[in-house]
Chains A and B, each alone.
Chain A
């Protein structure tokens, strides 16, 4: 028998599992750095919405027309802040697709990091980039001096756009677990462009043909887009918008949780 039992085993009594399932700020910092290192993501999520605002939000023909408690320029600014935030959070969430493809998810299972802590890090990373998008478009609105609405509404709107984009962090995670890594970014670009049109971010849904309008009202950006414009327009909340947001939040979250469970199942 070749087993050489040492007289004394290692002292493992001091070994501990980490607090919070391994959640920590170093990982959050590195995840944000990874995300912003991808130049394409930064351009699409932050630069492009600002460019769109400069192109469509300052047009003399309508920018200064009154709209609710403010003007059309402010309306366009809110739409494009939402557009940027949605792209940012979806892309950030969908990065799990690349991590799965590179075997990083499996590697993390050899560390104390818990799935809940991992998802929390992913969501906070997504919200950080989302905040950058919202801030960039709003700063563009401020410095161009065309957009106008009461300061309180401005802050409330920026904040609701940011929090609302959480829905799309869940969407990104869902797609990240659903789609293969090779084409996830291209697909996302297409899906988000379609959802933005259908949700009325570029053209008001009221201008769609009747049949198209009925379908558009069921799409995941419609409710959120209506809600974030409510403070500006002061037109009251339609309960169907709230139902739209909550229903899609449930769908995306449960889809992401289900797929993640399947992905990390110990077979």
Chain B
């Protein structure tokens, strides 16, 4: 064995930090199942197997070349994942158009027709042809503290430093009008036409609460006393929308901005991609934003 010089020794030790990924890269790629197992270990939330966070398509034993996170695994998002070299897609919302997430239609609401369905078929084929694995990550990701969906949304809006100490959902921004806040959100979130607002456009707003995803009236009732504006993903119109409208009628200086569900969840899945970089250092993780599904008629 050749003795190593001091210089060679120094070189070897200094390359150690970069050598770790190299060593990992040399190892067999983790399977989708292994990645999910690591997520379960590191999420810090007691894992509930009966929720929606399960494999939706593909073989969990597939070796993973790259990971893509997204708010919703639409066909467009799956195509972008393939382009980015990812074969494991982690999605916040369903893949097959319902909470049940069954890969074939199970009978639509109002007794609509059952299989075959060209769109289900094409999506399954795309997943199969590209050997993709799709896994949903929603219930547990939302439960992390601080709520990564609110953190991601605030950071995307440039409000990361303006968060309340005790509640990541609450932010105090420099005073502005509701109208200019709504336009600002539209621009920063690349919203096409999905944003809708309840309240006086000229209302001065500074204290904001974030409710990404979907939320019941109880959430709005709890936050309205603390803020001027709630920025939510989606709420039910017979709940928080009418509550906001009644508050305005009663002369309360309150407002509600609805972003749309997936648009509100996009930044939270960007957070997820950042978090996964440590969990899965062997392969690249890419965040793929979903375009705003909505446009407004002219």
Partners in one complex: no
